Amino acid sequence: RAVVSLISFAGFVVLVAAGLFGSRDPLSNPLPLAIWTLLWVGLVLLQGLFGNLWSWLNPWYGPWRVISRLFGNRKTWRPPSWLGCWPAFALFFAFAWFELIDPAPDDPARLAWAAGLYWLLSFAAMLVFGYRDWARRGEFLTVFLAMVARFALLERDEGKRNEVERKEGGRLNLCWPGAKLSDAAPLSLSGIAFLLLALSSVSFDGLSKTFFWLGLFGINPLEFPGRTAMIGIGTFGLVLMFVLLAAAFIVAIVLGQRLAGSSHSLSRAAGLLVWSIVPIALAYHVAHYLTVLLVDGQFALAALSDPFTLGWNLFGAADMPIEAGAAAGAGS
């Protein structure tokens, strides 16, 4: 597992270097395509089908193991229990803001700086708080993908209690989609907020591109002023969507408890029922980004074959024709 993570880290370094020194075209540079298409769309889909692949592929575990071996098991600070997943929530919100509202999230150099600084921040936190604690509470990709993995068709006999750092042994079993959600422990308030943010951010991405949303602020979609002019409106909308979804969720829980005569506390009921958001969020995530995966996935293969636009053809796909009709269907 550490070896796989080190290979992933090496690939990440190459991608960041390509972002800084490669093509300025987001469709020719592999960094934006790898993050926004292969990671944020493709890996989420694979995670929901096959389980926690990210626990092997994440670029922090391997370097953390190397540092731990070189300097021994240093004493780490244990985050207070009240902190919960709030660091992951805050970082996920920052990620969503960058993707949906920042003026140029696809700019390779801008994205390279953001990704590189985030890796350093997370790695420093893992050295201070320990890999396991920070991965479970602060590293938003690990938290999100571990939740998605509970919907997967595969599960391990061993290590099921730890979604972040599973044991490498154990037998793989097939299971029904979402079966692992049935025995999940109730999430804390921060975990509830995190899952609701995962759904609300994708929902706002869809809403923000509609004539209805733009019309609320007197903006003509045919004369779109650009993302920079929409920063304030976009930030307001992202927060508003989360608040509305959270309010609707709590109201539904309260009404459901009264109708069912449940004796559970509101926090416990919400912590249990919020797991039902996982299949909804996963299905909407894949449906929302499917065309991106089908089209930009082809650009990603081509860009990875020549990451620095030097005329390389590492995987034989640098000159492949891009078939946009793949997203439109066979009749296109």
pLDDT tens digits, residue range 233-247? 999 999 999 999 999
β-bridge mates for residue 155, sequence order: 173
Residue 159: pLDDT above 60? Answer: no
**Does 313 reside within a domain?**
yes
- Phi–psi pair at 173, nearest 5 degrees: -125, 150
CA end-to-end span of the chain, whole Å?
Answer: 43
Looking from the CA of 28 toward its CB, the CA atoms found within 13 Å total: 11
149-155: average pLDDT = 85
**Does 144 reside within a domain?**
yes
- Which range of 2-6, 218-222, 318-322, 325-329 scores highest in mean pLDDT? It is 2-6
Residue 332: pLDDT above 70? Answer: no
Of the two residues 261 and 295, the one the predictor is more confident about is: 295
Among 14-23, 43-52, 88-97, 262-271, the range scoring the smallest mean pLDDT is: 262-271
Taking a C-beta distance cutoff of 8 angstroms, is the pair 299, 29 a contact? no
Report residue 331's pLDDT band, with 50, 70 and 90 as the boundaries.
Answer: low
pLDDT score for 263:
79
**Does 253 reside within a domain?**
yes
pTM of the model: 0.88
Q: Say how far apart CA 13 and CA 92 lie, in whole Å.
A: 22
Structural domain harbouring 66: 2-319
Cα dist from 239 to 165, 204, 247, 281, whole Å? 32, 9, 12, 17
**Does 325 reside within a domain?**
no
Q: Say how far apart CA 48 and CA 153 lie, in whole Å.
A: 8
- Which amino acid does the sequence have at 262? S
The angle formed by the CA atoms of residues 267, 273 and 278, to the nearest 5 degrees, is 125
pLDDT score for 227:
84
Mean residue pLDDT across the chain: 88
Report residue 316's pLDDT band, with 50, 70 and 90 as the boundaries.
Answer: confident
pLDDT score for 238:
96
Residue 257: pLDDT above 50? Answer: yes
Residue 166: pLDDT above 70? Answer: no
104-114: average pLDDT = 96
**Does 328 reside within a domain?**
no
**Does 225 reside within a domain?**
yes
Sign of CA dihedral 213, 218, 223, 228: negative
Among 29-33, 77-81, 304-308, the range scoring the smallest mean pLDDT is: 77-81
**Does 21 reside within a domain?**
yes
pLDDT score for 163:
43
Residue 122, Cα to own-chain centre: how many angstroms? 15
Q: Say how far apart CA 39 and CA 28 lie, in whole Å.
A: 17
Domain count, the chain: 1
Of the two residues 103 and 264, the one the predictor is more confident about is: 103
Sign of CA dihedral 227, 231, 235, 237: negative
Report residue 82's pLDDT band, with 50, 70 and 90 as the boundaries.
Answer: confident
**Does 29 reside within a domain?**
yes
pLDDT score for 176:
81
Taking a C-beta distance cutoff of 8 angstroms, is the pair 145, 47 a contact? yes
Report residue 171's pLDDT band, with 50, 70 and 90 as the boundaries.
Answer: confident
Report the share of the chain in percent with pLDDT over 90.
58
